[in-house]
Structure 1
Amino acid sequence: MRRAGAAPGRGGVAAAPAPALALFRADGAGRAGLAALRVGQAARRAAMEEKTKGAAIGAAVGLGVALVGIPAGICALGFTASGIAAGSVAAKMMSIAAIANNGGVAAGSTVAVLQSIGAAGFSLGAKIGLSSALGSLGATAGASLFEGKKPPGDKCK
């Protein structure tokens, strides 16, 4: 009875592929090839670890920007919890919007939305959406920044 995958006329024993035989030759010459294979695998593993580390750092930065940086920036413009700060960029924006709309600020305009965010903060849905988008964007950017890094000890000639 012949085994599945065995070559006919060989007594049911499948022949080993040629590359495997080249690595394990009787004279030991294949050991250098095996060592080079192990070094290559270690270098790929180190590069993947660096890329993963970069993605984690980028995701953390993206989350920080979404949850802390954007609200801080809106507040720095002058859109505060107590209203628009006098003499700020927000006051100038509101003045321009009021002049353009015959004395009032239109609902849904940039000034109105920023004033709402400054007074009450982001809604839960906005926080989740911004965190997802900026976290993913940061992870992608971080991974691509670490993509071309060489592992320590790997010197190009």
Structure 2
Amino acid sequence: MAKLLIGAALGLGGATIGVPVALGALGFTAAGIAMGSVAAGMMSSTAIASGGGVAAGSLVAVGQSIGVVGLSAAAKAAATMGGALLAAILF
């Protein structure tokens, strides 16, 4: 049981801390996409490929959304459960 709780805690920690930190490092920030960042390059490439816009649901749009408002409660719950499941499989 302890291993499941540890896995759940790691999953939740990854979702609440790891994902926002990683996205911020790529340039998806609360203020929008940072100029000159990896995210800016992704946005430029996506816009060129799609004729001038970024499609809703694309990787860039999802990264921007998470960068601005964070992960939803459902995403955090899924990561928590995923961590617990992974711990059950590995340990």
Query: Shorter-chain-normalised TM-score: which range?
Result: 0.7 to 0.9
Cα deviation, 1:3-28, whole Å, max 9, x if unaligned, reads xxxxxxxxxxxxxxxxxxxxxxxxxx
RMSD: 1.9
* TM-score between both structures, scaled by the size of structure 2: 0.84
Alignment match, 1:69: 18
Q: How does 1:7-156 map onto structure 2 within 5 Å?
A: 55=3, 58-59=6-7, 60-141=9-90, 143=91
Q: Unaligned 5+ residue runs, structure 2?
A: none
Tell me the CA shift for residue 91 of structure 1.
Answer: 0.3
Q: Matched residues in 2 for 1:113 and 1:135: separation?
A: 25
- 1:43-64: CA deviations, max 9, x gaps? xxxxxxxxx66x2585133332
User: Does the Cα contact within 8 Å between 1:62 and 1:139 map onto a contact in 2?
Assistant: no
Evaluate the alpha carbon distance shift between residue 139 and residue 74 of structure 1 in structure 2; reply closer, same or farther with a 3 A threshold. Answer: farther
The answer (yes or no) to whether the contact 1:66–1:134 under 8 Å persists in 2 is no
Paired AA for residue 129 in structure 1: A
Unaligned runs of 5+ in 1: 1-51, 144-157
The sequence identity of aligned pairs, in percent, is: 52
**TM-score normalised according to structure 1 size:** 0.52
Question: Whose helix proportion is higher, 1 or 2?
Answer: 2
* Aligned equivalents of 1:130, 1:56: Cα separation in 2: 13
